[in-house]
């Protein structure tokens, strides 16, 4: 583990509506069992039975699913790691609500805090959210993660 649970314990996984979000929820389950303190934010739930199973797996070991009211304005106060599981290779165009605002949260934390103090580590799954899978960060408005996790 690069970011050990003894030092980076509080993890927020932000999940999108597709399979990248599912990867995020599976990652959350594993991280929970590795001793991290997990929270999941999954604002746009897709009505798919397989996704429901993953949610049940997670809720059974008491990983809280947060509502928008639970999220503080400055996520850096509450979390040591943000897992970006909003979008993967099927992202197109510019983010639509509620992700247009949500995607800005990790970006603004990185912009404001990085130079002055420790900020949460941002870990993206497969593709940084906001990036086109082939064209990259076209508008320069995608997430710039500290770590990218993908499997070839
Ligand atoms: N398939 C595989 O082989 C494997 C896949 N894997 C994983 O799955 C990921 C790909 O999953 P995916 O295809 O479900 O798409 P994903 O990137 O999660 O997003 C789709 C959702 O985003 C939405 N959406 C799109 N653009 C949007 C916008 N501008 N603003 C807002 N919403 C937007 C779109 O909505 P729609 O356009 O359909 O209305 C849809 O709901 C891949 O990166 C990897 O992590 C691996 O686990 C293993 C092997």
Residues 36-77: tens digit of each pLDDT: 999 999 999 888 877 777 777 666 667 888 988 888 888 888
- The whole-number average pLDDT for the span 126-141 is 95
Locate all alpha helices (DSSP H) within the chain, ordered by sequence: 19-33, 49-59, 99-102, 104-113
Q: Name the more confident of 68 and 82.
A: 82
Does 93 contact ligand 1 (Cβ within 6 A)? yes
pLDDT at 16: 96
CA angle 135, 139, 142 (to 5 degrees): 85
Does 85 contact ligand 1 (Cβ within 6 A)? no
Does 116 contact ligand 1 (Cβ within 6 A)? no
- Give, using CA atoms, the residue closest to atom 1 of ligand 1: 19
pLDDT higher than threshold 90 for residue 128: yes
pLDDT higher than threshold 70 for residue 114: no
* Domain count within the chain: 1
Enclosing domain of residue 25: 10-149
Is position 109 within any domain? Answer: yes
* CATH number of the structural domain spanning residue 141: 3.40.50.10260
């Amino acid at each position: 583990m690069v970011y050990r649970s003894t030092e980076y314990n509080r993890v927020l996984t932000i999940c999108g509506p597709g399979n990248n979000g599912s990867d995020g929820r599976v990652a959350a389950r594993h991280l929970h069992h590795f001793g991290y303190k997990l929270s999941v934010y999954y604002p746009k739930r897709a009505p798919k039975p397989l996704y429901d199973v993953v949610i049940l797996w997670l809720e059974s070991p008491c990983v809280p699913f947060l509502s928008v009211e639970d999220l503080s304005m400055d996520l850096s106060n509450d979390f040591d790691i943000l897992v970006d599981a909003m979008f993967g290779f099927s992202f197109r165009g510019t983010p639509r609500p509620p992700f247009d605002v949500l995607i800005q949260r990790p970006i603004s934390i990185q912009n404001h805090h990085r130079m002055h103090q420790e900020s949460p580590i941002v870990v993206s799954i497969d593709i940084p959210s906001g990036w086109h899978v082939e064209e990259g960060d076209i508008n320069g408005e995608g997430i710039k993660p500290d770590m990218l996790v993908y499997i070839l």
